Amino acid sequence: MPRPLRIQYPGAWYHVVNRGASRSTIFHDVNDRVVFLSCLVMAARRCNVEIHAYCLMGNHYHLLVRTPDGNLDRMMHLVGLHYSRYFNDKYDKDGRLCKDRYYPILIDSDEYLLAVSRYIHRNPIALGVDQLASYVWSSYAAYLGLRRKQEWLHTDFTLEMCGGVVAYERLVESLLPSEVDNWYGGARLPSIVGSADFKKDARRRRA
């Protein structure tokens, strides 16, 4: 897969995807997931990055983030550095934990934020999860008020855009596929999700 466009600017929204090298497992147990989230929170605080949604699977993870300072690379470097060190020490491994580097998908928040948030929270279906809100390692239950929201998790923006908790639950639980689902189901992930004008403007910012 070719390297994604590196487009970073203040206020940008991203769907971040990262997979284990050769699709290897990167979360073996509860503690691995707890440590990863602690690494994520530490990096987000240092870099002033907002975490708006997350889902930890077995061999990959998804994040929905906003970067007020336009520094996604710095945050993801810290996450990878600290979690890889923990993982390699625990499992007596050496070398790269995740595939090459993380994959950032730049999002037009006006058009596709809700669809991307829905996609992230529906990922556990691939694990055979029937009740999405029961999946512990995503932010969905916190969105619905079924679990105490971590103080670092930002839910208000998405819920307000959707029209509240009930409307958001209805959106996520809908069985109708969205345009975003179809894009992500393809052979290659998009590097930008948005309108033609958004993509044109974003490419002007390419670093």
Here the CATH number for the domain that contains residue 71 is 3.30.70.1290
> Which carries the bigger pLDDT value, residue 179 or residue 79?
79
DSSP 7: -
Average pLDDT on 73-78 reads 94
- Asked if residue 3 is part of any domain, the answer here is no
Residue 32 belongs to domain spanning = 12-186
Q: How many domains does the chain have?
A: 1
- Asked if residue 205 is part of any domain, the answer here is no
Residue 35 has pLDDT above 70, yes or no: yes
Residue 4 has pLDDT above 70, yes or no: no
Give residue 2's pLDDT. Answer: 47
Q: Residue 101 in 3-state DSSP?
A: coil
Give residue 179's pLDDT. Answer: 72
Residue 186 has pLDDT above 80, yes or no: no
Give residue 203's pLDDT. Answer: 82
Kindly indicate the confidence band of residue 185, based on its pLDDT and cuts at 50, 70 and 90: low
Kindly indicate the confidence band of residue 207, based on its pLDDT and cuts at 50, 70 and 90: low
DSSP 29: S
- Asked if residue 170 is part of any domain, the answer here is yes
Cα 150 to chain centroid, rounded: 16
Average pLDDT on 138-150 reads 95
Give the bridge partners for 106, in sequence order.
14, 192
- Asked if residue 202 is part of any domain, the answer here is no
Q: How confident is the prediction for the chain on average, in pLDDT?
A: 90
Lowest mean pLDDT among 50-64, 80-94, 114-128, 186-200: 186-200
Q: Cβ neighbours of residue 182 under 8 Å, at least 6 residues apart?
A: none
Percent of the chain with pLDDT over 70: 93
Q: Are 68 and 11 in contact (CB under 8 A)?
A: yes
Q: Is 0.85 topped by the overall pTM?
A: yes
| Helix (H) or strand (E) run with residue 13 in it | strand 12-19
- Asked if residue 162 is part of any domain, the answer here is yes
Residue 5 has pLDDT above 60, yes or no: no
Cα 27 to chain centroid, rounded: 15
> Which carries the bigger pLDDT value, residue 101 or residue 196?
196
Give residue 1's pLDDT. Answer: 43
